[in-house]
Amino acid sequence: MDKVTNLFKVLSDETRLRILILLYKKELCVCQLQGILEEESQPKISKHLGKLRDLGFVKDERKEKFIYYYLNDNEMLKDILKSIIDNSNEYKVIKDDLERLKYADEIKERKMCQIKNEEE
């Protein structure tokens, strides 16, 4: 029951819900999420991602100098997110996020969100 309770607690936070919807569509790095969500604070996005990772809803993977986040396998979560996305015309914020998602690669290049390499 804890997993279901945690799922709905996570979904009750607007920022985390928006992050999960975007990760349902595509794996993204922090700066891409920051740009798509139009969030000024990168640490805020990182904090939410950390919470989602700790609860097992997302995983991360380093690819060169970037850390990408993607959804973990959770069919209940995916079904809920799919239903929200299918009805995104009813939710302006989500509709706008999904529109900006189309420009995720440009956001990454523009923001120069490379993490510092520990060897440098």
In a domain, 106, yes or no: yes
In a domain, 62, yes or no: yes
Structural domains in the chain (count): 1
By CB atoms closer than 10 A (0-12, 13-18, 19+), residue 58 is buried
In a domain, 92, yes or no: yes
In a domain, 76, yes or no: yes
Write down the H helix ranges in the chain.
Answer: 2-11, 14-25, 30-36, 42-54, 75-86, 92-101, 104-111
Q: How far is CA 95 from the centre of its chain?
A: 15
User: Which pTM does this prediction carry?
Assistant: 0.88
pLDDT band at 109, cuts 50/70/90?
confident
What digits encode the pLDDT tens for the residues 52-105?
999 999 999 998 888 999 999 999 999 999 999 999 999 999 999 999 999 998
Residue 81 lies in domain:
2-111
In a domain, 118, yes or no: no
Q: How far is CA 94 from the centre of its chain?
A: 12
Name the residue among 96, 111, 101, 113 with its Cα closest to residue 26.
101
Which CATH number does the domain housing residue 25 bear? Answer: 1.10.10.10
pLDDT band at 114, cuts 50/70/90?
very low
What digits encode the pLDDT tens for the residues 17-44?
999 999 999 999 999 999 999 988 889 9
In a domain, 117, yes or no: no
- The three-class DSSP label of residue 77 is helix
In a domain, 14, yes or no: yes
